[in-house]
Each structure stands twice: as C-alpha cells, then as structure tokens.
Amino acid sequence: MSTPMNKPGASGPASHGRWNAGWYARARRVDSPNHGHRPQGAAIDLVVVHSISLPPGEHGTGDIERLFTNTLDFDAHPYFQTLRGMEVSSHFVIARDGTLTQFVDCDRRAWHAGRSYFRGRSNCNDDSIGIELEGLEGGDFTAAQYAALMALCRDIAARYPIRFIAGHEHVAPGRKHDPGAGFDWKKIRNNLCDLGWWFPLDH
C-alpha cells in the first residue's frame, strides 16, 4: 500500500506530528530570506536532489548555511568570489552525518534549481522541493545521508503529491551536473519504489 499523498496543509494521520504547515518537525530550522510565493495552482510534485560543499570538497564549515542566509563572507575564500551577489536557497540540506536543516517552508518557492526544465515544464522552482546533500559533485555520499534523505522523502510524500524525483543535472542538463555519478539512484529507487514515483533510472 503506497503512502497517502495529501494536499499542502493536510493534517491527516500520515503527516501528524511531522509537519507544522510547511515546516518539517524533524529538521533543525534556519530561516533563509531567499524564497517567494509559488504560482497559484502549482502542483508540488517534484523533488530535486542537489549536492553542495563550500569551499568545494570541504565539509562542516558552516558556509552553506551562511550562503543560504546571505551572510557569507565572499572574501574568506577565493572560490566565494564566484558566488558574490547570488541569492540562493534550498528547502533542505543534509549534512555528512545525516543532520537535517530546513531553510524554506515547503509551501513556498525556494531558489535552488535556477533555469530548468523537466517533463514539459520550465522553472522547476515553482513546483519542486529542493534537497541539498553536503558533498562534492560526482563524489560519494554517506550512509547517514542516504538514510536521512529516504526518511525525508517518505515524509514529504505524506504531505505533498510528489510524482517525480530527479537530480539537478536532470532538470538543468548541460548547465548543472549534481549530484553526479557518485549518487546511488538505484539505492533510492529500491527503497522508495512503493511510492510510485518516477526515478531517473526509469528513462
């Protein structure tokens, strides 16, 4: 039996105790200013998986949080000059130890996908939930991250009518390449196949 998929704002048994409106009760909350309204009638039916590490290849620096809250010191590392002026966010970040942080209410539009197109629709930020995994594009991810991601996806499915999960590389091909070859889509599909979602391995 697949997990019930409720409309945003639903408070049925599947989401009881796990959601406070669009905020996930099992995540640490840090509010990002980088978000907006979703278009009226947008169906939140897509999860987009990303990877990020700041500086590239380094973990646990706190710089992802600073980037998403517009407090990053762009002079602290040469790479940060490429990020100067950016205002970006994701709904969730999963650290290497599996710690989950939420930056944007899932009922709202986070700024994670940029120019994007997926299954006949552009502007994937409008109808997606973005999840960043701390790690280098193309690199490996930890068992704790996979466990946290799969648990989060199940709880997202309890509240939102998700039909698809894809990488940033799938919604912005040629422009983005994360999470990359090191991400184990087969593991995700095998664990979540009962949800009836489309997975990248299905095409």
User: What angle is formed at CA 26 by the lines to CA 131 and CA 1, rounded to 5 degrees?
Assistant: 80
Is 132 an active-site residue? yes
Q: Which residues contact 160 (CB under 8 A, 6 or more apart)?
A: 5, 6, 8, 44, 45, 106, 129
CA torsion, ordered 114, 118, 122, 127, to nearest 10 deg: -80
Among 29, 31, 15, 38, which residue's Cα sits nearest to residue 158?
15
Catalytic residue (one of 58, 65, 87, 132)? 132
Active-site amino acid positions: 132
